[in-house]
Amino acid sequence: MRTDVACTLTLSSPAPATALLQVALAAPDREQLTVLTDGRPVDPEEVAVPGARVHRLQLPAGDTTITYTGSVDSAGSPREVTPAEWAEYVRPSRYCPSDQLEGYASTEFDRTRPRVELVAAVAAWVHDRLIYTAGSSRPVDTAVDTLLLGQGVCRDYAHLTITLLRALEVPARLVAVYAPGLDPMDFHAVVEADVDGVWQTVDATRLAPTSSLVRICSGRDAADTAFLSLFGGQARFGSVTVTATVDGDLPAPSDEPFPLA
């Protein structure tokens, strides 16, 4: 299955600024990244960090347009969970304070169930517990805030799923993806969990087919996977448009964990 993705971001800055960009496919077959400030090209510097391809941009003052296109022709192979990943993703993180929900998770879920069933059960519980509501959450909200509020967007669904899984001693991480079939189209956040030593993907929102997702990057939570971060200056974010299409029919969203290449 061939998947084609694209995004365009606009921003303006009264003074020079440094931007960290995470929109590139993790393993593209073809891609192009173009950055223009007031029509002049800006050269992106790719920085390799664990779980991501980060592009650092030294932006001059002015209006900047960032355009990325990429495609991938195959699903790739499932990823094994390394010992280092196990250690990193079983612990609490900024937006996923799993140590605060250990008792709660233990009363809601039977941790003795087979791992694949436990992961699916947590994702189904989050889907049933939350209401997807655009604009309902703040950028600083943690999974505990989301649980108490009872609503959120894909980021919040992912954070709560990750937090409950880690509270059950299941390593889990957030994955930023392009999601063919997502409506309205945007960058999307899902969860990878350790299922018998292999990373398997679940999406508690059920807004897009899990088997059609294409990886951008992964991390402890949204702090590691933001598509754009600005440092050392001021800028006003303008707009973002995202597209993701496949060359065949899309399957229906599934509750079952699925390996994401």
How does strand 45-49 pair with strand 30-37?
unpaired
How does strand 151-152 pair with strand 131-132?
parallel
Nearest to 114 by CA among 260, 259, 257, 261: 257
Below-70 pLDDT ranges, the chain: 75-76, 254-256, 261
Q: What is the pLDDT of residue 255?
A: 67
Q: What is the pLDDT of residue 39?
A: 95
How does strand 188-195 pair with strand 45-49?
unpaired
Q: What is the pLDDT of residue 12?
A: 93
Phi and psi for 260 in degrees, rounded to 5? -105, 120
* pTM of the shown model: 0.94
DSSP helix, strand, coil percent of the chain (3-state; round to 5): 25, 40, 40
Nearest to 192 by CA among 207, 212, 176: 176
What is the distance, to the nearest Å, from the Cα of residue 87 to the centroid of all Cα atoms in its chain? 20
Domains for the chain: give ranges and CATH numbers: 3-74+227-246 (2.60.40.2250), 83-224 (3.10.620.30)
